[in-house]
Structure 1
Amino acid sequence: MPSQTKRKKPYSHFRLRKFLFFTVPFTILALFLLRTSSSSSSTASVSSSYTTYQPPWFGDLQTAQFPWNRLAFSLTNPPPKTLKLAVFSRKWPTGPNPGGMERHAFTLYTALARRGHRVHVFTSSLDPFLKTDKIINLKIHPHGDAESGKWRYNKAWELYQEENQKQPFDVIHSESVALPYWKAREVPNLAVTWHGIALESLHSSIYQDLIRKPGEPRLQSFNASLYSAVLPKILDEIRFFNNYAHHIAISDSCGEMLRDVYQIPEKRVHVIFNGVDENGFTSDKKLRSLFRSKLGIQENSSAIVLGAAGRLVKDKGHPLLFEAFEKLIETHSNVHLVVAGSGPWEQRYKKLGDQVTVLGSLNPNELKGFYNGIDIFVNPTLRPQGLDLTLMEAMLSGKPVMASRYPSIKRSVVVNDEFGFMFAPNVEALTTVMEVAVAEGAERLAERGRKCKEYAAEMFTASKMALAYEKLFLCIKDERFCIYP
Structure 2
Amino acid sequence: MATQTKLKKPNSHFSLCTFLFFTVLFTIPALFLLRTSSCSSSTASVSSSSDTNEPPWSGDLRTAQFAWNRLAFSLTNPPPKTLKLAVFSRKWPTGPNPGGMERHAFTLYTALARRGHRVHVFTSPLDPSHETNKTTPVSDQTLNPKIHSHGDAEPGKWRYNKAWELYQEENQKEPFDAVHSESVALPHWIAREVPNLAVSWHGIALESLQSSIYQDLIRKPDEPRSQGFNASLYSAVLPKILDEIRFFHNYAHHIAISDSCGEMLRDVYQIPEKRVHVILNGVDENGFKSDKKIRSLFRSKLGLAENSSAIVLGVAGRLVKDKGHPILYEAFAKLIETHSNVYLVVAGSGPWEQRYKDLGEKVTILGSLNPSELKGFYNGIDLFVNPTLRPQGLDLTLMEAMLSGKPVMASRYASIKRSIVVNDEFGFMFAPNVEALTAVMEVAVVEGAERLAERGRKCKEYAAEMFTASKMALAYERLFLCIKDQRFCIYP
Shorter-chain TM-score range = over 0.9
**Within 2, Cα distance between the matches of 1:364 and 1:445?**
24
Are the aligned partners of 2:47 and 2:56 in contact in 1 as well (CA < 8 Å)?
A: no
Runs of 4+ in 1 over 4 A off after TM superposition: 21-32, 50-54
Report SS of the residue matched to 1:86: strand
One-letter identity of the residue aligned with 2:353: E
User: Paired residue for 2:38?
Assistant: 40
Q: Is the 8 A contact 1:113 1:136 kept in 2?
A: no
- The answer to whether residue 225 in structure 2 is matched with residue 218 in structure 1 is yes
Aligned residue among 227, 234, 254 for 2:234: 227
Shift of 1:88: 0.3
Q: Is the 8 A contact 1:304 1:441 kept in 2?
A: yes
1:43-76 per-position Cα deviation (integer Å, ceiling 9, x unaligned): 3453661675542000100000000000000001
Taking a change above 3 Å as real, the CA distance of residues 141 and 25 of structure 1, as seen in their structure-2 partners, is closer
1:71-91 CA-partner distances (Å, limit 9, x unpaired)? 000001000000000000000
What is the total number of aligned residue pairs between the two structures? Answer: 467
**Which among 431, 454, 457 is matched to residue 424 of structure 1?**
431
Equivalent in 459, 482, 489 of residue 482 of structure 1:
489
What is the deviation of 1:348? 1.0
Aligned CA distance change for structure 1 residues 427 and 442 (closer, same or farther; 3 Å): same
Q: Does the Cα contact within 8 Å between 2:46 and 2:56 map onto a contact in 1?
A: no
Distance in 1, matches of 2:217 and 2:208, equals 14
CA contact (8 A) 1:64 1:270 kept: yes
Pairing 1:318-397 to 2, within 5 Å after superposition: 318-397=325-404
CA distance in 1, matches of 2:25, 2:127: 53
CA contact (8 A) 2:410 2:430 kept: yes
Distance 1:426 1:277, change over 3 A: same
Q: Deviations over 1:291-346 (max 9, x none)?
A: 00000011111100000000110000000100000000011100000000011111
Please give the secondary structure, in 1, of the residue aligned with 2:337.
coil
Matched residue, 1:136: 141
Write the mapping of 1:123-162 to structure 2, written as runs, cut at 5 A: 123-130=123-130, 131-132=132-133, 134=136, 135-137=140-142, 138-162=145-169
Alpha-carbon deviation of 1:24? Answer: 12
Q: Distance in 2 between the 1:327 and 1:50 partners?
A: 40
What is the distance in 1 between the residues matched to 2:426 and 2:483?
35
CA contact (8 A) 1:84 1:117 kept: yes
Unaligned stretches of 5+ in structure 2?
Answer: 1-13
What residue number does 2:56 align with?
A: 56
| Alignment check: 8 A CA contact 1:114 1:136 kept | no
- Tell me if structure 2 keeps the 8 A contact 1:48–1:455: no
- What SS is found at the alignment partner of 1:147? coil
- Mapping of residues 113-192 of structure 1, within 5 Å: 113-130=113-130, 131-132=132-133, 134=136, 135-137=140-142, 138-192=145-199
1:29 Cα shift? 6.4
Letter in 2 for 1:431: T
- 1:90 maps to 90
Cα deviations by residue, 1:454-482 (Å, 9 ceiling, x for unpaired) = 11000000000000000000000000110
Letter matched to residue 64 of structure 1: A
Rounded to whole Å, the distance in 1 between the matches of 2:444 and 2:47 is 23
Displacement after TM superposition at 1:266 (Å): 0.3
For the 8 Å contact 1:51–1:416, the answer to whether it is kept is no
TM-fit CA distance, 1:40: 1.3
Could you tell me how far apart the structure 2 residues matched to 1:264 and 1:37 are? 19
Alignment partners' CA distance in 2, 1:443 and 1:258 = 41
Superposed CA deviations along residues 187-208 of structure 1, whole A, max 9, x for unmatched, are 0000000000000000000000
Partner of 1:6: none
Matched residue type, 1:81: K
Q: C-alpha distance in 2, partners of 1:226/1:249?
A: 24
The Cα of 1:34 is off from its aligned counterpart by: 4.0
2:408 counterpart residue number: 401
Check 1:289–1:29 CA distance in 2 against 1; reply closer, same or farther (3 A cut): closer
Alignment of 1:107 onto 2:107: yes
Task: Give the whole-Å Cα distance in 2 for the aligned partners of 1:337 and 1:199.
Answer: 33
State the match for 1:304 in structure 2.
311
1:4 corresponds in structure 2 to none
Contact 1:47 1:412 in 2 (8 A): no
Q: CA deviation at 1:136?
A: 2.9
1:69 maps to amino acid: N
Q: Is the 8 A contact 2:279 2:476 kept in 1?
A: yes
Relative to 1, partners in 2 of residues 1:388 and 1:433: Cα closer, same or farther, differing over 3 Å?
Answer: same
The residue type equivalent to 2:48 in the other structure is S
Aligned-partner residue type, residue 107 of structure 1? T
Q: What is the Cα deviation at residue 386 of structure 1?
A: 1.1
The code of the aligned residue for 1:49 comes to S
* SS of match in other structure, 2:179: strand
CA RMSD of aligned residues (A): 1.9
Q: Aligned pair in 2 of structure 1 residues 39, 83: CA closer, same or farther (>3 Å)? A: same
1:8 is aligned to none
Cα distance change of structure 1 residues 31 and 91 upon mapping to structure 2, 3 Å threshold: closer
Quote the Cα distance in structure 2 between the aligned partners of 1:25 and 1:231.
9
Question: Taking structure 1 as reference, are residues 290 and 428 closer, same or farther at Cα in structure 2, changes over 3 Å only?
Answer: same
Alignment partner for residue 415 of structure 1, among 392, 416, 422? 422
Corresponding residue number in structure 2 for 1:270: 277
Q: 1:209 to 1:300 in 2, by over 3 A?
A: same
Aligned partner letter, 1:261: V
Structure 1 residue aligned with 2:3: none
Letter in 2 for 1:312: L
- Structure 1 CA distance, aligned partners of 2:267 and 2:150? 37
Identity level (%): 83
Q: CA deviation at 1:415?
A: 0.4
Cross-structure match for 1:14: none
Q: Secondary structure at the match of 2:65?
A: coil
Aligned CA distance change for structure 1 residues 152 and 467 (closer, same or farther; 3 Å) = same
Separation (CA, whole Å) in 2 of partners of 1:72 and 1:347: 47
Structure 2 residue 445 is matched with structure 1 residue 438: yes
- Cα distance in structure 2, aligned partners of 1:34 and 1:203: 14
- Secondary structure, in 3 states, of the residue corresponding to 1:220? coil
Cα 1:206–1:463 change in 2 (3 A) is same
How far apart are 1:23 and its partner, in Å? Answer: 9.6
CA distance in 2: counterparts of 1:23 and 1:296, whole angstroms: 54
Aligned residue identity for 1:196: G
How far apart, CA to CA, are the structure 1 residues paired with 2:119 and 2:26?
A: 45
Aligned to 2:456: 449
Deviations 1:216-245 (A, max 9, x none): 110010000001000000000000000000
